[in-house]
Amino acid sequence: MFRFLAVASGMLVLLLTVILTTHQAKAQAVPSPRIAIMGDSMSTGYGASPGQGYVNLLDNDYNSQGGDVEAFAVNGATALRWINCPTNPTLGGCEAAYAGQFDRLKNYNPTRVLITLGGNELIISRPASTYASHMQQLANKVRSLVPNASISFVRYYDITKFGFQRPAPGTICDLHQGQCNGYTTYSSWSQYGDWLRFVAAFNNIQVIDISTANFTRSHVIDDLVHLNNAGQLFYYNTLKPRL
């Protein structure tokens, strides 16, 4: 009887050891989340105090959980510039800030990439369909660099919401490509969203839309576009639950 109990007890200990080892192996196999945010001045924190951008706030959260959030953002960025400038930083109109960004992205090896662009396209009146096509091309480029990362598009608020006046179509170009292309009409932010969702649906890309969140005039600086500290905090609190 005692021998049977000893054998049974030993088998139980062995089984528990196997279960524990398997659980630990699975836990070790799941990489810590590393989120790359590819964007424009909304993601550089332009208009807010240093360290108060939503990217910094997300990074603080993820760091406390063993993860990381890194900004891949350039003031004035468009999807077209992101497609071309990192590999051609001397192209007319490109900035040094783009140089080496694709290599940096590969080395960072994120588990997830958030692409959040559109405000500068809206300013230069790029047609919504062209903007969405560029976003798709950029997503394809990101997939070729970090094939194991999931990709999401993030839509922020309409930059004309608080009275910012867009220049007349065709008066401001994406200089490095001479991209005015005879733009003669405005596309709305809503149309940008419709086209972006259309492209995303055919490319297995999630769209995180925070454009309908209650951003207010008190959230932006005097240029009526960029977020102040309070606005960046609101952006962070709105985006975080959707990640």
pLDDT tens column, 197-207? 999 999 999 99
208 domain-assigned: yes
d(CA 214, CA 219): 10
71 phi/psi in degrees, rounded to 5: -90, 130
Residues 6+ apart with CB under 8 A from 119: 40, 41, 42, 156, 159, 225
d(CA 180, CA 175): 8
By residue range, what is the domain housing residue 230?
A: 32-242
Count of structural domains within the chain: 1
CATH assignment at residue 93: 3.40.50.1110
Q: Which amino acid is at 144?
A: S
Pick the closest to residue 52 from 242, 243, 226 (CA basis): 226
Check whether 95 has a pLDDT greater than 90.
no
Task: Write the DSSP symbol of residue 227.
Answer: B
Pick the closest to residue 72 from 112, 107, 43 (CA basis): 43
210 domain-assigned: yes
Across the range 112-130, mean pLDDT stands at 93
pLDDT tens column, 101-110? 999 999 999 9
Alpha-carbon separation of residue 179 from 93, 134, 171, 214 (angstroms): 11, 13, 10, 33
172 domain-assigned: yes
Across the range 90-116, mean pLDDT stands at 93
Radius of gyration in angstroms for the set of CA atoms belonging to the chain, rounded to a whole number:
23
Cβ-contact 218, 236 below 8 angstroms: no
pLDDT for 210 equals 97
Listing DSSP states for 120-183 in one string gives HHHHTT--HHHHHHHHHHHHHHHHHH-TTSEEEEEE---TTTTSPPPPPTTSS-BGGGTBTTT-
pLDDT tens column, 39-65? 999 999 999 999 999 999 999 999 999
10 domain-assigned: no
d(CA 237, CA 235): 6
User: If pLDDT is split at 50, 70 and 90, which confidence band does 30 have?
Assistant: low
pTM for this one? 0.85
pLDDT tens column, 135-187? 999 999 999 999 999 999 999 999 999 999 887 776 666 644 555 555 667 89
Cβ-contact 134, 83 below 8 angstroms: yes
Burial of 223 from C-beta contacts in 10 A (0-12 / 13-18 / 19+): exposed
